[in-house]
Structure 1
Amino acid sequence: MTSTSSTSGGPSEQRREALRDFLRDRRARLTPGDVGLPPAGRRRTPGLRREEVAVLAGVGVSWYTWLEQGRDISVSTEVLDAIAGALRLSDPERVHLYLLAGLNPPPAGGEPAAEVTAEIRQLLDAWAPRPAVLRDRSWNVLAFNDPARAVFDFDGTARNCLVTYFTSPRYRAIPDLWAAGAPAVVAAYRADAAHAPGDSAFARVVDGLRDASPEFAELWAGHEVGAPAQAVNALRHPEAGDLHFDATTLTVADHPYWNVVLYNPRPGTDTEARLATLRHLRLATPA
């Protein structure tokens, strides 16, 4: 770990200054007793000393001092994890430390199980009469509103948005639009999978869909990657006819593995009127 030449000004220097302030603040919040060290008498300033943090993290005192001073030095993920442990950082604080050090945070070990909250379900329902879906990071459907049930033929069984796109007769009924959108869908899924290389859920979806869809297998073998963006979804409903949606994906802040997908009728199509017709048909159907 050696010092390199620093640059003056710019985002890189601002990031190192933010790292310096963050480390100093978190060090000042701890006492020797908090980390299992014996008390060392009166201190001129609150918190741990730099040498104590260095010992706890197993790094050199000079190197940790350079890091906290905001010098342009090389860092590794192992050292950052050790410092995060020494400073008793929470998971969000650990991610923040990585970003300030100029590194991508490693993926979390696994997605914590959680029940879909009433607030999320209310959000989905509030989007009616337009479809809305909640999915996890591997695109498994966790919840949906009644319009989504009617439009996508969801029946409460386990569904995956990628699998649905490649296997649903409703999507495949408009072959030109389906074929035009398929490469972007696969590229977005590969981009999402790259954020969780150890998550076997992605592999299960890919392996199963490769066997079920030759088109998917060919596209997946191309290794195209695309950032998730607003997408156009087109499908043919057996009662309402052709439906065209602009789909926007939003991350749930307190559940970063969850995404809400909101479907809005595409302007210039008859989708909004067709949705209204579908709703009236559903209301008129006897329970």
Structure 2
Amino acid sequence: MSEAIRLQALSAFLKSQRSRLSPESVGLPTGGRRRTPGLRREEVAQLADVSTTWYTWLEQGRSIQVSHSVLDSIASALRLTVDERKYLFSLAMEHYSTLPVPEPETFRLPPSLQKIMQELRYCPTLISDRRCFIVGWNEAATQIFMNFEQIPFEHRNIISLLFDRKELRRLAVNWEDLVSGFLSIFRGYFGRYVDDEWYNLFLDDMMNRHPDFQPLWKQSSVNSAPDVWIEFRHSKAGKMLFDLTSLQVQGDSDLRCSIYTPAPETATERKLMQLLERSNVF
């Protein structure tokens, strides 16, 4: 990622976080009518105990020196979460990561992870890499979503599939919630691997091909492990309710496990069992 793009991303993030806070939420007087929602720049500077000019330059995306302590003060002023703080520091202090992306031709899931997916037979499970490409799945995921084996790796990106495939848009009743969950994960990767030009090329491609992508991307938060409740309308099983939990897999490959757990006290698990039985899996 170029210096200009990194600073632009930092600027957009600071503005979006500032707009989400009200003076009342941080203990400041309202100060009369406001033309735009959120805090003013001078109010953030006041809360962070920095000069308004310096904070303005930072939010404008100028190339200025920043320190850990000052960024920590800004993060506190903006009420950032742990994941949002990491994102801020990654963009502002250029802590680039050089962790390589697994090559699809040679990459193999660890046997332990394959075993875990098999044991989660009634929980559709996907394994993805740091670019959100699907590198593993169980049979339950195939029954609910699609046969990923038939999709070439270069087209097997979770985010692009959610926008490209009409059957996935029809499947998820609260499709935007599902997309927002994965975008919050993707934004965390985007900040962590700011030296990887692939992310910027991917975002440009998505914005050019899907007009509804840009507003969702701009509104997305930063969350490494969002919990999302999803309602599916499956073509064969009908209404199905899942809790989506995203887990970071420990290790050098930076993999993520997305588990769709059937909602308790619903018929979802029974319906999933019937789908698997019809496919002669068990």
- TM-score bracket for the superposition, by shorter chain length: 0.5 to 0.7
Distance apart, 1:175 and its partner CA? 6.8
Q: Quick one: which of 99, 107, 113 aligns to 2:96?
A: 107
Q: Distance in 2 between matches of 1:124 and 1:183?
A: 24
Taking a change above 3 Å as real, the CA distance of residues 211 and 269 of structure 1, as seen in their structure-2 partners, is: farther
Distance apart, 1:134 and its partner CA? 0.8
Q: Quick one: which of 221, 225, 239 aligns to 1:225?
A: 221
Q: Deviations over 1:84-139 (max 9, x none)?
A: xxxxxxxxxxxxxxxxxxx9892321425343222221111111122111101121
Q: Distance in 1 between matches of 2:181 and 2:263?
A: 18
Distance apart, 1:153 and its partner CA? 0.1
Distance apart, 1:189 and its partner CA? 2.2
Matched, 1:198 2:201: no
Q: Distance in 1 between matches of 2:93 and 2:247?
A: 21
Taking a change above 3 Å as real, the CA distance of residues 265 and 166 of structure 1, as seen in their structure-2 partners, is: same
Larger radius of gyration: 1
Match of 2:260 in 1: 263
Q: For the Cα contact (< 8 Å) 1:132–1:263, is it kept in 2? A: yes
Match of 2:146 in 1: 153
The amino acid of 1:177's aligned partner reads: N
Match of 1:251 in 2: 248
Match of 2:206 in 1: 209
Q: Quick one: which of 125, 142, 153 aligns to 2:118?
A: 125
Q: Distance in 1 between matches of 2:235 and 2:227?
A: 26
Match of 2:130 in 1: 137
Matched, 1:238 2:227: no
Q: Distance in 2 between matches of 1:112 and 1:209?
A: 20
SS in 2 for 1:244: strand
CA-atom RMSD in angstroms: 3.0
Q: Distance in 2 between matches of 1:75 and 1:232?
A: 39
SS in 1 for 2:203: helix
Instruction: Report the identity percentage.
Output: 19
SS in 2 for 1:257: coil
Residue ranges of structure 2 left out of the alignment (5+ in a row): 1-65, 69-91
Q: Which has the higher contact order (CA 8 A, sep 6+)?
A: 2
SS in 2 for 1:192: helix
SS in 1 for 2:115: helix
Q: How many residues align?
A: 185
Match of 1:178 in 2: 175
SS in 2 for 1:232: strand
Q: Distance in 1 between matches of 2:230 and 2:179?
A: 10
Match of 1:162 in 2: 159
Q: For the Cα contact (< 8 Å) 2:125–2:259, is it kept in 1? A: yes
Distance apart, 1:269 and its partner CA? 3.2
Taking a change above 3 Å as real, the CA distance of residues 225 and 236 of structure 1, as seen in their structure-2 partners, is: same
**TM-score, length basis structure 1:** 0.56
**TM-score, length basis structure 2:** 0.57
Q: For the Cα contact (< 8 Å) 1:249–1:261, is it kept in 2? A: yes
List 4+ stretches of structure 1 deviating above 6 A: none
Q: Distance in 2 between matches of 1:138 and 1:177?
A: 23
SS in 2 for 1:173: helix
SS in 1 for 2:135: strand
